[in-house]
Structure 1
């Protein structure tokens, strides 16, 4: 009987080790042709940014050449980037977004 009690004391509860999924940044690249209003529209529609956030990001893209639209898991980042690029193409704008991995 004491062997069972001793064994039970040695058994430790295992905690599952879950890793956070790798994250990816969706970057909007500047061009000289896409209207600023369209960039704001994209940021609001695809990334759900407010008017103020969308305008701040649009100005950063315009002034610095690129800006982050948001950080997501890989599948979601790739989907959002595709939506940006597709919407721009449909509307005859050269706007491009890319996906960059974020390294810890």
Structure 2
């Protein structure tokens, strides 16, 4: 009988520990405006890397163009950094100075 009680206490203690774990922080991935990167390239990045629908990609591109910065998506830190690296590699490969940042939201 004592083994059954020990199992229940262990389960309750484990549940209590799980309740105390905070969810992972979220990070926004932003594109920054420049005077050289073509708008169609930005839309392609948004549709292919961030998997945004065409209409949403156009809206984000215009936000970047007019406001200087646009949110592409919100992810955990590792996913946000991966998206940032994908954008930066593609921009470099295509010869564009497009910049991408990751910020905690």
- What TM-score, normalized to structure 2? 0.83
Which residue number corresponds to residue 20 of structure 1? 23
Any unmatched runs of 5+ in structure 1?
Answer: none
| SS at structure 2 position matched to 1:47 | coil
Any unmatched runs of 5+ in structure 2?
Answer: none
Q: CA deviation at 1:25?
A: 0.6
Higher Cα radius of gyration: 1
Which residue number corresponds to residue 84 of structure 1? 87
Task: Give RMSD over aligned pairs.
Answer: 1.7
| SS at structure 2 position matched to 1:13 | helix
Greater per-residue helix proportion: 2
- What TM-score, normalized to structure 1? 0.84
Is 1:64 paired with 2:76? no
What number of residue pairs does the alignment pair up? 95
